[in-house]
Structure 1
Amino acid sequence: MATTTKQPPGPPAGAALAGRSIARIGYGAMQLERHHADPAAGAEVLRRAIELGVNHIDTAHFYGDGFVNGLVRRAVGDADVLVASKVGAAPDPNGTLPLRPAQRPEELRAGVEDNLRSLGVDTIPIVYLRRLEVGPGLAAQGGQVVDIDDQLAEMTAMRDEGKIGAIGLSAVTTDTLRHALPAGIACVQNPYNLLDRRFEDALSLCREHEIGWVPFFPLGSAFPGMAKVAEEPAVREAASRAGVTASQLGLAWLLRHAENVFIIPGTGNTVHLEENMAAGGIELDAVTRATLDAVGAASVSAPVLAPSWPSGTGSD
């Protein structure tokens, strides 16, 4: 049986990401965009996350065109928190979609400068290059299809200049990840969860090279072709038996699946935040673990989704 403590425990710690020992449950800040009319509410979620032991916050300047980064800047202050951001897209508030690709080397540099300014720092500990090779999300087309070596040359130059502490990759194929290894990749963000294990080979490659695996959509998504973990009957049944929520069980599975996994579930309210943090206290017995492993096994060989952005679906 899976078991958990009643109060949110401190997240499991002791694993290294980009050379720093951090808690394995962090916080993804994207959903704080919804607090644009009430910044104080967004800042409260961030402060509560830090109180609960979060010391890894994932953000981006293109989340609300600097709005979310501003919240992170005020909430983190002098706290010892690893802040990770990303480039490869840029805000497009007047466009058909809220974002546009920004893949050219000069756009990557501009994105880093935007993040430095809105976060109020001289160095960003981790910056992910969002390549837009796999879906869901934006697709790179035309002049936005840029050679990975040209992009890595610019990212490496900014690391050498001290603007970036470590380089991450996001939305990449396993072949691209393998090609990029000589550049010194600290972590990878790809869609991955209990029901979506298409990048199991990339996760294995990261384990082999001691690279952090930081999945986005850790509980699924409303994008077509992606399921929501909490709606899977087998997960719901197992969660009911354990006395936890299906979402908590899905997060607990990720933490137990591989030691290099760092999760960054996002939420806009403190209740869900505390539920997510409590997933760190859930232990999976052999039967529950085998049940959950079997649920997602078929997705390991599923086709990789092409980038897409259907109307009414949030970004990441």
Structure 2
Amino acid sequence: MVEQTITAASAGTFKIGGDLPVNRLGYGTMQLTGPGVWGDPKNPDEAVHVLQTAVDLGVNFIDTADAYGPYIANDFVKKALHPYPSDLVIATKVGNTRQGPDRWIPVGRPEYLRQQVEMNLRTLGQDSIDLLQLHRIDPKVPLADQIGELALMKLEGKIRHIGLSQVSVGELQAANEITPIVSVQNLYNLAKRDSEMVLNYCEKEKIAFIPWFPLATGQLAKEGGPLDKIAKKYNAKPAQIALAWLLKRSPVVLPIPGTSSVAHVKENITAAGITLSDEDFKILSQAV
């Protein structure tokens, strides 16, 4: 009997903005860079192979950003996958500047955001960006100026949909009054759920919720802990159960686990085939 390969399609689908169908388990490119999300990785060939493997295993939603490297991750996406499959949705981000490893400063001046959108189009080799997310709201620039410039570029056909990253419900609502917001990318995982209210709002409004740092498990994965016990029950690894928990948490959740390893990307995608029982989901939800 031939064992069936589990693909990202097993996670189910979601339509971003109502018209961009993607498999709910995607891939994030941040780890395709050097230490501190700066410069080149140690193994460029492996980075290309990781992206190609992810797509071969059904991933059709890739999240990247001009700040990753900077531009290193975008370059790998283009090198590995261009010309892009017709069903591949690439999300990228603007609004964060880099001054060195692990250093990030938001800049939301309209002229800068426009420049970065144009640079993303160039480095990714695209005529239009499927999903352009504001990496961070710049507190020094009026929100209407930041979102307004992106909305203008949407009218020009350079952006298809607009999203936000690391925002509150109030910020999301304020931006949505300027132009439709179709996605939110906030820190959220099994061990850290400060964005629970934002996720609930996204679910109500059918806005895609893209949790970054999705594999973090804190102390839950320690030997004998709840995550460790449930992982053994499913003959899985703790990270796979953490992803399965996210997929069960809400139909609008689109996890984008990142890795620079082909073996790990295969493990992560296998999580799409794990369906937690209601009881195990509840145990994990109450463990934090």
Q: Compute the TM-score of the two structures, normalised by the length of structure 2.
A: 0.89
Residue by residue, what CA displacement relative to the aligned partner does 1:181-217 show, whole Å, maximum 9, x if unpaired?
2310010000011122211111111112111000101
Q: How does 1:119-134 map to 2 (within 5 A)?
A: 119-131=124-136
| Percentage of pairs with the same residue | 36
Q: 2:220, 2:287 within 8 Å by CA — same for their partners in 1?
A: no
CA distance in 1, matches of 2:226, 2:47: 34
The residue that corresponds to 2:85 in the other structure is: 79
2:118 corresponds to 1:113: yes
Which shows bigger deviation, 13-22 or 50-59? 13-22
2:15 aligns to what? 16
Work out the CA distance in 1 between the residues paired with 2:219 and 2:81.
31
Which deviates further from its counterpart, 230-239 or 249-258? 230-239
1:40 is displaced (CA, Å) by 1.9
1:167 to 162, 178, 186: 162
> Among residues 192, 195, 202, which one is paired with 2:188 in the alignment?
192
What's the CA shift for 1:9? 3.0
Local SS of the residue matching 2:69: coil
Q: Tell me the residue number matched to 2:140.
A: 145
Equivalent-residue separation in structure 1 for 2:118 and 2:220 (angstroms): 36
Q: 1:192 to 1:97 in 2, by over 3 A?
A: closer
Partner of 1:264: 256
Output the amino acid matched with 1:114: M
Determine the C-alpha separation between the residues in 2 that align with 1:228 and 1:248: 16
**Separation in structure 1 between the aligned mates of residue 263 and residue 114 of structure 2, nearest angstrom:** 37
Q: Please report how far the alpha carbon of residue 286 of structure 1 lies from its aligned counterpart in structure 2 after TM superposition.
A: 2.5
Partner residue in 1 for 2:270? 278
1:109/1:154 contact within 8 Å kept:
yes
2:37: which partner in 1?
none
Give the superposition deviation at 1:278: 0.7
2 CA distance for matches of 1:97 and 1:281?
34
Deviation at 1:100, TM superposition (A): 3.0
RMSD: 2.0
Give me the whole-angstrom Cα distance separating, in 2, the residues matched to 1:79 and 1:91: 31
User: In the alignment, which residue of structure 2 is the partner of 1:303?
Assistant: none
Contact 1:88 1:131 in 2 (8 A): yes
**Is 1:83–1:126's contact at 8 Å kept on the other side of the alignment?**
yes
Moved more, 80-89 or 287-296: 287-296
The match for 1:64 is 69
Partner residue of 1:243 out of 235, 240, 243? 235
For structure 1, the residue ranges without an aligned partner over 5 or more in a row are 133-139, 222-226, 297-316
| Structure 2: runs of 5 or more not aligned | 35-39
> 8 Å contact 1:203–1:213 — kept in the other structure?
yes
* Structure 2: distance between partners of 1:44 and 1:242: 28
Structure 1 residues 229 and 280: alpha-carbon distance in aligned structure 2, compared to 1, 3 A threshold:
farther
Query: What SS class does the counterpart of residue 286 from structure 2 fall into?
Result: helix
Q: Is the 8 A contact 1:88 1:130 kept in 2?
A: yes
**Residue 103 (structure 1) shift:** 1.8
TM-score by length of 1: 0.81
**Aligned counterparts, 1:44-55, within 5 A:** 44-55=49-60
* Residue of structure 1 equivalent to 2:153: 158
1:36 matched residue in structure 2: 41
The Cα shift of 1:148 comes to 1.3
Partner letter of residue 95 of structure 2?
A: G
